[in-house]
Amino acid sequence: MKSVADAARAVLQASAPRDKVKIARTAARLWRQGALAHSFDAAMPARPARPEKPDLLPPAQMPKRGKGGSERGRIAMLHALAHIEFGAIDLAFDMAGRFGGAFPRAFIDDWFGVGADEALHFALLDRRLRSLGSHYGALPAHDGLWEAAEKTAHDVLARLAVVPMVLEARGLDVTPSTIERFRAAGDERSATIIHRIYRDEIRHVAAGTRWFKNACESRGLDAVGHWKWLIETYFRGLLKPPFNDSARGEAGLSRDFYAGVAAGKKSEQGPVTSWGGQTS
C-alpha cells in the first residue's frame, strides 16, 4: 500500500472478513503515520469482494429476527449488526478512495478513521457471536447498504446524504431500544458492545454531516434544500419517526434536514451536476 487509493482498493478487494479487518486497520495506521501518499492513482471497484457466506437475499426474503429476548433472537440481531459493520468498512474506504481527491487531507483522516472503527466493531460482534456458538456468515443477510453506494457512486454529495445522513443516522434512532432489549434479556456483554458502537456512530454521522455542509457551502448550495432533493432522488425508502433528536443533534444533523422529508413534503431544489466523484 503506497497511496490512499491503493490502500482503499486493497480493503475493498479483501473478501475474507479477517483479511478485510486486518487490511482496514493497517491502512488507517499507515495513513496516521504518514506512510501513504495523498494520491488517487487507483480506481475503486464497482463492487467490493465478498465471502461465500453469508448468503445475500433480497430484503423482502429475509427471515424475521424477532425481538431479541431469546438467545436465538439475540444471535440473529448480532449477526445483522455484524453484517452492517462489515459493509460499513467498505463504505468508509470507498468514500475516501472514490471521492477523496476533491477534498483536503482531513477528509481521509475522517473516513480512514471511520473505516478502522467499523473494522473494530465487526471484530467485536463476530467475537461475541462466536462466544454464543455462532459466527458471521451463519445466517443470511442482504446487500442494501452497497446498493445505496452503487446509486451514489457518481456524486459525493449524494453519497454523504444517503449513507451517513440517512442510513447511519437511522441506526442512532433504533440502537437505544436494541440496547435495552439486550439488557432486559440479561445480556449485558452484548449491550456494552452495541453501546460502544452507538457512541462511535454518532461521530460517523457527524463526519458525514460536516463534510456535506462544507461541500454545499463551497458550491453555493443550500445544504438543507439540496439534501432534501438528493434524498427524494436517490433514497427509495421512507424516513420514519421516531427520531433520536438528541443523538442526531449531537452529530450536527438538525431537524431542519429530516423533519420535512419525513412528513412527505417535496423539495423545490433542482438537480446540480455531480462533483468530486468517480463514476463507476
- Position 23 scores a pLDDT of 98
85: its cell numbers: 459493520
User: Tens digit of pLDDT for each residue in 46-86?
Assistant: 999 999 999 988 777 777 765 556 899 999 999 999 999 99
Q: Percent of the chain having pLDDT more than 70?
A: 91
Residue 123 has pLDDT above 90, yes or no: yes
In a domain, 51, yes or no: no
In a domain, 276, yes or no: no
- Position 68 scores a pLDDT of 52
- Position 56 scores a pLDDT of 87
Cβ–Cβ < 8 Å for 127, 18 = no
In a domain, 133, yes or no: yes
Residue 195 has pLDDT above 90, yes or no: yes
Instruction: List beta partners, residue 3.
Output: 37
Find the domain containing 233 and state its range: 4-37+63-262
Residue 211 vs residues 33, 107, 227: alpha-carbon distances, Å: 23, 8, 12
User: Which pLDDT band holds residue 182 (cuts at 50, 70, 90)?
Assistant: very high
- Position 65 scores a pLDDT of 60
In a domain, 132, yes or no: yes
In a domain, 210, yes or no: yes
Q: How many domains does the chain have?
A: 1
User: Tens digit of pLDDT for each residue in 80-96?
Assistant: 999 999 999 999 999 99
pTM for the full predicted model: 0.91
